Amino acid sequence: MIVLTQTTEILRQLPDVGGPAQPLLTIRGLTKHFPLRSGLLGRSTGVVQAVDDISFDVRKGETLGLVGESGCGKSTTSRLIMALLEPTSGEVIFDGQAVGYGGLTLKEYRRQVQMVFQDSYSSLNPRLTVRDSIAFAPGVHGVARRSAVTRADELLEAVGLDPAQFGPRYPHELSGGQRQRINIARALALQPRLLILDEPVSALDKSVEAQVLNLLLDLKDQFGLTYLFISHDLNVVQYVSDRVLVMYLGRVAEIGPVDTIYNGAAHPYTAALLDSRPSMDPDRRRLEPPLQGDPPNPVNPPSGCRFRTRCLHAEAVCADKAPPLAPAGPEHLAACLMVLPGSGHSQAPKLAA
């Protein structure tokens, strides 16, 4: 792990609290319903169930990939975790401590959890030089200007940009890939423990994407980080993740080790999503689309299992019962009645007597 020189006490990574077995982040029953308003009076005419009762852990030192199609609630989840949005209900626990309300203060929490967004441009202040952008947050946290600037230059170096050349530049003078490197440097400035990366390479060209992915893997080791890596790109998620969480219409469909999920998905949605990837082999092209139609609208999601309207295995019981996450194998959970013993689905395992 890199020990940066000339940094004051406040810039060291805060120590582990609960030990390696305790998850770094625990999400419990997190829910966000956006009111839909219409008309002059802004009367509420329904809700968008963007995120609906999701629970998962992010383990210390891992990369958890969060994957799903657009609109399934990935960004809302990341903004809830960053406390940029007020949840409708649910809680966020960081290294055993609740966030807010008598637990960790937001300031303490945000030092340890930082975020990188897809849009590299809008997340940088256009009037600040690159160096000042990176030095900004440490300044807010009471680091003297000179140490903050030295630190900014060290971070520029760490993300592969020459501080003398790039430090004085403004965001509009940089390419998309360079701006994303700056965003990563800025996110690292407070020595966080957890980075939330929301589609960090989705706007980049392939050759630049590869550079940034290599960089993220290097930095994870050097800085002792844990990643929540959000993407709609199944290949990228497979490449970076230790475990993968699949979302569909605001809910968790499946979670498990990356190889388990990619080699043997338990949820029919995950299987269809994986089968939708182009084959990468012109001699073995796809012949049939695995799913028909677009995902339904989170304003009026289907009752019971939200995937049932597109699922080949749907039965009457799927409309009645929202499937809970049930064990599908070692470390592997899936929210499908075919996995839940005794669920009433014809393909469900029988209950042990």
Partner 1 sequence: MEPLVHVRDLKVRFVSRDSTVHAVNGVDFDLAPRETLCILGESGSGKSVTLRSLMRLNPPRLTKMTGTVRVGGHDLVTTSERSLADIRGSVVSMIFQEPMTALDPVFTIGMQIRETIRRHETISREDAERRALELLELVQIPSAKRRLAAYPHELSGGLRQRAMIAIALSCRPKLLLADEPTTALDATVQIQILLLLRKLQQDMGMGVIFVTHDLGVAAEIADRVAVMYAGRFIEEGPVSALMRDPLHPYAQGLLGATVHGGVRGKRLTTIPGAPPNLAQVPTGCAFAPRCAYVEPACLAAVPAARSPIPGRAARCIRVPDHAVSTAA
**Which of the choices Mg ion, partner 1, ligand ADP, none does residue 50 contact, using the CB cut-off of 5 to 8 A by kind?**
ligand ADP
> Applying CB under 8 A, which of residues 6, 125, 165, 276 lies at the interface with partner 1?
276
Number of residues that bind Mg ion (CB under 5 A): 2
Using the minimum distance from each CB to partner 1, give the nearer residue, 175 or 300.
175
Near Mg ion in 38-77, by CB under 5 A? 74-75
| DSSP per position, 5-36 | TT--GGGSPPPPSS-TTS-SEEEEEEEEEEEE
Using the minimum distance from each CB to Mg ion, give the nearer residue, 75 or 123.
75
As measured in angstroms, the least distance from the Cβ of 207 to partner 1 is 4
**Which of the choices partner 1, ligand ADP, Mg ion, none does residue 210 contact, using the CB cut-off of 5 to 8 A by kind?**
partner 1
* Interface positions with ligand ADP (CB under 6 A): 34, 48, 50, 68, 70-76, 298
Instruction: List, in sequence order, the alpha helices (H) in 97-227.
Output: 106-112, 130-140, 145-158, 163-166, 176-188, 206-223
Using the minimum distance from each CB to Mg ion, give the nearer residue, 117 or 166.
117
Is residue 20 near partner 1 by the rule CB under 8 A?
A: no
DSSP 122: T
| DSSP per position, 126-142 | TTS-HHHHHHHHHHHTT
Is residue 78 near Mg ion by the rule CB under 5 A?
A: no
Near partner 1 in 278-337, by CB under 8 A? 278-283, 285-295
Determine the Cα–Cα distance for residues 46 and 88; give it in Å rounded to an integer.
14
Q: Which tokens is 266 given?
A: 């338990």
- The CA distances from residue 238 to 64, 110, 132, 217, 229, in Å, are 10, 28, 35, 13, 11
59: buried, middle or exposed (CB in 10 Å: 19+, 13-18, 0-12)? middle
Neighbours of 320 (CB within 10 A): 12
Where do contacts with partner 1 occur on this chain (CB under 8 A)? 69-70, 175, 205-207, 209-211, 213-214, 217, 232-236, 238-239, 258, 262, 272-273, 276-283, 285-295
Where do contacts with Mg ion occur on this chain (CB under 5 A)? 74-75
